[in-house]
Structure 1
Amino acid sequence: MARLLIVHHTASPTTQAMLEAVLEGARTDDVEGVEVLTRPALGATAPDLLAADAVVLGTPANIGYMSGALKHFFDTVYYPCLADTAGLPYGLYVHGNSDTAGAVRAVESVAKGMGWRRHRPALAVTGELTRADREACWELGAVTALAAVEREGYHQE
């Protein structure tokens, strides 16, 4: 069975709502054969990442950067996972009160350095979460779950 790992720092009601929408999409009945694992960024480990076929990262934009918790996750997994996760599909959602560009840029820079493959453009939301934003989060979860299934199938051939 494929594994989708969702690593998040849920520090606000908005990032919690985004996480919940991503989870709903990832667990949709339309995508079969995927196990969804959710880990807070401070608790996610290298073995969690090494067992994943795709990953969704979620973070608030704090002072123009990803959360310290997500940065800690990257610091923890970078060297133990660098060689073994090249090509890993990933998705990203970010919430900021006024700007998300620095956080998106920082996460994408680290992911590129790890050799991961961005599955779709980052979902960046500023201000209040709209219905369209929730739907975009749902879609991010669903398509990244599908990417996990496709990658898992690729590795079995």
Structure 2
Amino acid sequence: RHQAVPAMPRGVYASQIGNDEPNFAFAKEKVAQFTHKFGRPPKLMVAKIGQDGHDRGQKIVASAYADLGFEIVLGALFQTPNEAAKTAVEENVHVIGVSSLAAGHLTLVPQLRNELAKLNRADIVIVVGGVIPPDDVSTLKQMGAAAVYPPGTIISTSAIDLIEVLNARLG
């Protein structure tokens, strides 16, 4: 099968949007506090699982989180839940952000959660972003997603939320 190698631009979010976004500086400070407290920045894998080959949003979100101070792992396109879980474990991430634009999230998120459990890493936080029907949000949370970020979510606000989730889980 095709193996696309993802590449991520850096600095675009900070230079174009960051200064106009009221929570940008606050989000950067929260990330810096996390880094100081835990000895490393929060590490986020942005995953494209299944047959969803729409990667522009994945790259934009990953780039924005990098500009806020997160360490980023950009998942390969078309990974299986097993492959994504293995990558997350190998990279020792705190969070897997599943980018869903092709409506596979209700099947793929529970499979990812199960694969992480098989690898004894059920502690890795799963969040979901993308085109998520409102009726699917509570279902995804019941399936183990810590948060769901639909279109229009302000990235710095989601980063603050994610840091709060990590702080609550890690102590």
Distance 1:105 1:148, change over 3 A: closer
1:21 and 2:57 are equivalent in the alignment: no
Q: Secondary structure at the match of 2:119?
A: helix
- Specify which of 130, 135, 138 is matched with residue 101 of structure 1: 135
Structure 2: runs of 5 or more not aligned: 1-39
CA drift of 1:93 comes to 0.5
- Specify which of 64, 72, 77 is matched with residue 36 of structure 1: 72
1:139 and 2:150 are equivalent in the alignment: no
1:4 and 2:37 are equivalent in the alignment: no
Structure whose residues are more often strand by fraction: 1
Larger Rg: 2
Write the distance in 2 (CA, Å) between the matches of 1:38 and 1:106. 26
Distance 1:100 1:19, change over 3 A: farther
Kindly indicate whether the alpha-carbon contact (under 8 Å) linking 2:110 and 2:143 is maintained by their aligned counterparts in 1.
Answer: no
Q: Secondary structure at the match of 1:11?
A: coil
Distance 1:4 1:73, change over 3 A: same
TM-score normalised by L of structure 1:
0.55
Residues 62-141 of structure 1 aligned to structure 2 (within 5 Å): 62=103, 66=105, 68-81=107-120, 85=123, 88-95=124-131, 99-102=133-136, 104-111=137-144, 118=146, 121-125=147-151, 133=152, 136=153, 138-139=155-156
Identical pairs, percent: 6
RMSD of equivalent CA atoms: 3.8
Letter in 2 for 1:7: A
- Specify which of 75, 92, 101 is matched with residue 60 of structure 1: 101
Letter in 2 for 1:101: D
Q: Secondary structure at the match of 1:122?
A: strand
TM-score normalised by L of structure 2:
0.51
Number of aligned residue pairs: give it: 125
| Structure 1 partner of 2:85 | 45
Write the distance in 2 (CA, Å) between the matches of 1:24 and 1:140. 15
Distance 1:148 1:24, change over 3 A: farther
The superposition leaves residues 4-28 of structure 1 with CA deviations (integer Å, 9 ceiling, x where unpaired) of 2222237254xx2321221121110
Using CA pairs under 8 Å that are at least 6 residues apart, name the structure with larger relative contact order, 1 or 2: 1
Letter in 2 for 1:80: L
